[in-house]
Amino acid sequence: AAPSGGVRFQVSAALREGRVSPTELCQRCLSLIKSTRFLNAYITVAEETALKQAEESEKRYRRGQPLGVLDGIPIAVKDNFNTAGIETTCASNMLKGYISPYNATVVQKLLDQGAVLLGKTNLDEFAMGSGSTDGAFGPVRNPWSYSKQYKEKSVPKSHSEDEESNWVISGGSSGGSAAAVSSFTCFAALGSDTGGSTRNPAAHCGIVGLKPTYGLISRHGLIPLVNSMDVPGILTRCVDDAAVVLGSLAGHDPKDSTTIQDNFKPFELPDLTDISKLSIGIPKEYHAPGLSSEILALWSKATDLFKNAGAKVIEVSLPHTRYSIVCYHVLCTAEVASNMARFDGLEYGHRSDMNKSTESMYAATRREGFNEVVRGRILSGNYFLLKQNYENYFVKAQKVRRLIADDFVKVFGSGVDILLTPTTLSDAVPYMEFIKEDNRTRSAQDDILTQAANMAGLPAINVPSGLSERGLPVGLQFIGQSFQEKQLLTVAKWFEKQVKFPMIQLEVKSHDHSAFQPQKSASFS
Amino acid sequence: LAPWVPVVGLEIHAQISSNSKLFSGSQVQFAAPPNSLVSFFDASLPGTLPVLNRRCVEAAVMTGLALNCSINKKSLFDRKHYFYADLPAGYQITQQRVPIAVNGSLSYSLCIDNKMSQMVTKTVRIKQIQLEQDSGKSLHDDTRSQTLVDLNRAGVGLMEVVMEPDMCCGEEAAAAVRELQLILQTLGSSQAVMAEGQLRVDANVSVHHLGESYGVRTEVKNINSIRFLAKAVDYEIQRQIEELEKGGTILNETRAFDSKLGCTVPMRDKEGKQDYRFMPEPNLPPLILYDAKSLPANLNHQQVVNIDWIHERLPDLPSVKRAKLVERYGILPEHSFTLLNEDGLTEFFENVVKQTQMKPKRVIGWILNDLLSYLKQHSLTVKESPVSSFLLADLLNLLEKKEISSTAAKQVLAELWKGEGKTPLEIVKEKKLELIQDQKELEQICQAVIDGQENEVIMMVLG
């Protein structure tokens, strides 16, 4: 039975009714993490603390006083969020062994709701990348590489080559979180999204990836990539779950001066039946060079779906889309150069043994601690920020950013409610193929469909929409208006129901061979 | 040959008097144990964000208003990047593009001669006031080849006050800074004690021939007192003139003032020009201030900073205080300067005036000539004076009632200064310093004196 749209097993309800206990749930997830270690989705598994949290949750359920829907629900957090007492590495040598003394606001909020933190997930180093392949702990493997659906369709070059060389990337940079959710080791995970880093891996791993409006969710404790574009991202197996997590995270945080002051009211998603009043925009520029014919066809099919159901579907134009890659490159690297300046080995993190002088210690520390991708971006960013270059690059890019954002304002102002676009140019590529191009090239290519939403601060969501010819997930993206998450998620939920995306048939040898049925516990809400 | 025209500008950093730092909640305190006042944000732990301290904004607005500045209703924060051990984030948050206040002025007074008998008023333009973070402190331990870093000061709020190069010598610079110090202390926006690093001054000095364009300027740092400021500026002016007169050139460099040698020396630290790669601070939205006109109806002054509200509550500035003293007590303007210049002296003076019938015009002489010189001789502050205002008033009353002479009064004061707890009257009685009013008694004394000096008297009578 398919999870989304079909009959959903509600884990929360099961916990409430006592059909399963938090500790059982936690243990199953931990066991599955062990069985799926080859995915390399987790950097740190916090087994002891997770079990303790599960026990506390169990006590609350026995008293009939659960904290909410999330109480006892196992979750994972991308390793660029600070977690007190648990290593936070950003997949970098610079922070290997770094134990933060505080929790990110979003982590604290989840814990306050009783969620069980299983561990920290893998990513591209400091969230720079679109494949989760460039981290200090190795690449993340897409769980779909080990699915029946993929194996059936793939043509092995030779018997020995099979799984080991054929596995596909999870997307990035929140690949670990996406893989963790996709492989059922947790029910929800936090990612981050700066240029598509939550939506991209969500698309490749066949799950829901939500990028909220900038300013809705606190970034306090999220180790920044680009402060003016970063948002915490939410990865779940269905849209309803994303709404629940959003509800527990959104709202003003006095510790983050970029969060809006308005009161946020958590919402439940209605089941849309009549979409005749809905106006869907199809931006023509998102028919980007390199877009696979499969995805184009899927996009078209989705458009027809909306039309046939009575919605108004119109082609729109976001003319400055084609400048977004270079614009993003300038602004991103500039902020990176600035944000990474604090990693000098003095107060925390890696410190080189070089001690001839402070400067030489700094230089050696940073060379040893950062990978090539990070160092490259720092150098670029510093170049753009030089006095002689600032006007021509940084300020110009800011102006272009304004133009890109205004494109959306105009389109939404003309009566369009939501935009529908592809999320990625193609399905997940095999790792061996992916690494043939460098990180910068890949990021530039892959971010084209997702970046603009970060430039404009708009909410956007990936909804898994179908399988490619190779048996891999393909997703479609909805982009909404600022702070209109309810409308965005409502439409996404309707769409999710229509497409009935198939459950992954993961072929994994479970540790305890118990009756763990992934199919029955896809979602928690 | 055209005369040399020295040009002096100042960059002054005043530590804001507040409970917590500019962007974080850690405490502000002088001389606390190293690294005991450091929040996660101050230590630049990854993922921490700045949160603006309202009190620091108010302090800057007050100071801007007191210096006749335009307060920018919208100002911005920027990052200024450089690597140094006392700058954990690798950048300082400052206001480079649009500071909180601009285009003000500061009036200060100078004595034309040494006797303080004629004062002249000068004005220096205030270019801007900006809010920024202070850095931590680093101590170089050369014997062990290590640098010790204390981050207690990192992140403390500073107001940088930029004074245009309208000054011409050390004396003017010193007077301007002194006046600024008094203003800050009156406002309470900064305690401005140079010895505790709450007020730091860098001087920009250049010279040129009258009629020609400005010369190359040097920046002089490491000035620890107002006295040294005057010395440093005058030395640097002289050095530049001498250098140019012998055909040399002035380098656009940073120099440190060596107080022991009384000269400026090049600072080895700042080699070459730094590119600070300024960038807007993305974690802080623009700082919006309101006034009575622009204040939205649904907000009260608790939620926002209202410039007019602050303006209405400004205390009397030193210049106003001095004018009031002159008017009220009939003292000279120079007197009012000295009164305000010594911490607590105005209060002392006014207390004495309250407690005595002697006219303030006479009292001031005793305060400025006698009391103050005693204090200076013994390096005491007014607070530490062994002679209280009560005692002095008591003494002056005796003088006013003509019970003692002025000479006798000085003797009594000398005794009082010993702080033995005797009252003026007791001392007068002890030393038999009473003025004799009785005619007969006086005649007797005179006669006794004349009797004892027969020869001298005969000489005098004979002419």
Provide the sign of the torsion angle of the four alpha carbons A128, A129, A131, A136, taken in this order: negative
The two structure tokens encoding residue A119: 């561990």
Least confident of A73-82, B343-352, B435-444: B435-444
Look at the block and give the residue holding tokens 């990052």: B79
- Spell B22-56 as b/e; 16+ CB within 10 A means b: bbbebbbeeeeeebebbbbbbbbbbbbbbbbbebb
CA angle B448, B452, B456 (to 5 degrees): 120
Write phi, then psi, for A206 (nearest 5 degrees): 70, 40
Contact between B428 and B422 (Cβ < 8 Å): no
What fold does the segment set A39-46+68-155+162-326+393-499 form as a domain?
Amidase signature (AS) enzymes (3.90.1300)
Count of CB atoms situated within 10 Å of the CB of A322:
14
Look at the block and give the residue holding tokens 């006892």: A72
- The catalytic residue among A21, A57, A78, A109 is A78
- Chain A stretch 78-107, residues whose beta carbon is closer than 8 A to a beta carbon of chain B: 81-82, 88, 90, 95, 100-102, 104
User: How far is it between the farthest Cα atoms of chain B?
Assistant: 101
What is the C-alpha to C-alpha distance for residues A152 and A148, in angstroms, rounded to an integer?
A: 6
Least confident of A223-227, B122-126, B426-430: B426-430
- The catalytic residue among A92, A197, A218, A426 is A197
pLDDT of B409: 87
The two structure tokens encoding residue B100: 């909180």
pLDDT of A516: 42
- Chain A stretch 252-281, residues whose beta carbon is closer than 8 A to a beta carbon of chain B: 254-258
Taking the CA of residue B275 as centre, how many other CA atoms within 13 Å lie in the half-sphere pointing to its CB? 10
Alpha helices (H) in A251-357, listed in sequence order: 293-308, 324-339
DSSP bridge partners of B202: B11
pLDDT tens digits, A361-420: 999 999 999 999 999 999 999 999 999 999 999 999 999 999 999 999 999 999 999 999
Q: How confident is residue A13, by pLDDT bands cut at 50, 70 and 90?
A: confident
pLDDT tens digits, A436-474: 988 878 877 889 999 999 999 999 999 999 999 999 999
Taking an 8 Å cut-off on Cβ atoms, the answer to whether A342 and B88 are in contact is: yes
A362 touches B: beta carbon within 8 Å: yes
Average pLDDT of chain B, as a whole number: 92
pLDDT of A7: 26
What is the C-alpha to C-alpha distance for residues B427 and B411, in angstroms, rounded to an integer?
A: 9
pLDDT at B452 over 60: yes
Chain A, chain B: beta-carbon pairs less than 8 Å apart:
98
Q: What SS3 state is found at A290?
A: coil
Strand order in the sheet with B91-94: B91-94, B78-81, B279-280
pLDDT of B112: 77
Q: How confident is residue B117, by pLDDT bands cut at 50, 70 and 90?
A: low
Q: Which residue of B has its CA nearest to A100?
A: B45
DSSP bridge partners of A330: none
User: In a mutagenesis test of the A interface, which of B92, B94, B279, B287 is the best target, namely the one with the most A β-carbons within 10 Å?
Assistant: B279
How far does Cα B175 stand from its chain's mean position? 9
**Residues whose CB is less than 8 angstroms from the CB of residue A1 and which lie 6 or more positions away in sequence, other chains included:** A7, A519
What is the C-alpha to C-alpha distance for residues B338 and A180, in angstroms, rounded to an integer?
A: 75
How far does Cα A227 stand from its chain's mean position? 17
Q: How confident is residue B272, by pLDDT bands cut at 50, 70 and 90?
A: low
pLDDT of A314: 97
pLDDT of A52: 98
**Mean local confidence (pLDDT), A470-489:** 97
pLDDT tens digits, A416-436: 999 999 999 999 999 999 999
A78 given a catalytic annotation: yes
The two structure tokens encoding residue B236: 């640097």
Provide the sign of the torsion angle of the four alpha carbons A195, A196, A198, A204, taken in this order: negative
- The catalytic residue among A173, A174, A426, A521 is A173
What is the C-alpha to C-alpha distance for residues B297 and B299, in angstroms, rounded to an integer?
A: 6
Q: What SS3 state is found at B264?
A: strand
Count Cβ atoms within 10 A of the Cβ of residue A453 and give its class: 0-12 exposed, 13-18 middle, 19 or more buried: buried
Q: Which residue of B has its CA nearest to A258?
A: B283
Chain A nearest-CA distance from B46, in A, is 5
Count Cβ atoms within 10 A of the Cβ of residue A270 and give its class: 0-12 exposed, 13-18 middle, 19 or more buried: exposed
pLDDT tens digits, A171-211: 999 999 999 999 999 999 999 999 999 999 999 999 999 99
Taking an 8 Å cut-off on Cβ atoms, the answer to whether A338 and B81 are in contact is: yes
Contact between A61 and A21 (Cβ < 8 Å): yes
pLDDT of B459: 83
pTM for the full predicted model: 0.92
pLDDT of A520: 43
User: In a mutagenesis test of the A interface, which of B49, B76, B268 is the best target, namely the one with the most A β-carbons within 10 Å?
Assistant: B49
pLDDT of A217: 98
Contact between A345 and A351 (Cβ < 8 Å): yes
What is the C-alpha to C-alpha distance for residues A451 and A324, in angstroms, rounded to an integer?
A: 7
pLDDT at A522 over 80: no
Q: Residues in chain B, how many?
A: 463
pLDDT at B269 over 70: no
The ipTM assigned to this model is 0.93
Which residues in chain B have Cβ-Cβ distances shorter than 8 Å to A348? 43, 45-46
pLDDT tens digits, A504-517: 999 876 554 443 44
pLDDT at A1 over 80: no
Rg (chain A; Cα; Å): 22
Nearest C-alpha neighbor of A242 from the set A499, A498, A462, A30: A462
Taking an 8 Å cut-off on Cβ atoms, the answer to whether B81 and A255 are in contact is: no
Which residues in chain A have Cβ-Cβ distances shorter than 8 Å to B88? 342, 344, 346-347
Domain ranges of chain B: 4-288, 318-431
A173 given a catalytic annotation: yes
What is the C-alpha to C-alpha distance for residues A449 and A130, in angstroms, rounded to an integer?
A: 12
Chain B nearest-CA distance from A159, in A, is 47
Q: How confident is residue B60, by pLDDT bands cut at 50, 70 and 90?
A: very high
Q: How confident is residue A163, by pLDDT bands cut at 50, 70 and 90?
A: low
Look at the block and give the residue holding tokens 């527990």: A248
Helix or strand holding residue B87 (H, E)? none
pLDDT at A158 over 80: no
Q: Which residue of B has its CA nearest to A382?
A: B277
pLDDT tens digits, B324-357: 999 999 999 889 999 998 989 999 999 999 999 9
**Mean local confidence (pLDDT), A324-351:** 96
CA angle A422, A425, A431 (to 5 degrees): 135
Compare B458 and A449 and report the one with higher pLDDT: A449
pLDDT of A159: 53
pLDDT at B106 over 80: yes
Nearest C-alpha neighbor of A465 from the set A476, A450, A457: A476
Q: How confident is residue A3, by pLDDT bands cut at 50, 70 and 90?
A: very low
**What DSSP character marks residue B319?**
H
Identity of the residue in B79, B85, B285 whose CB atom sits nearest the CB atom of A338: B79
A426 given a catalytic annotation: no
**CA dihedral defined by B319, B320, B323, B325, rounded to 10 degrees?**
-110
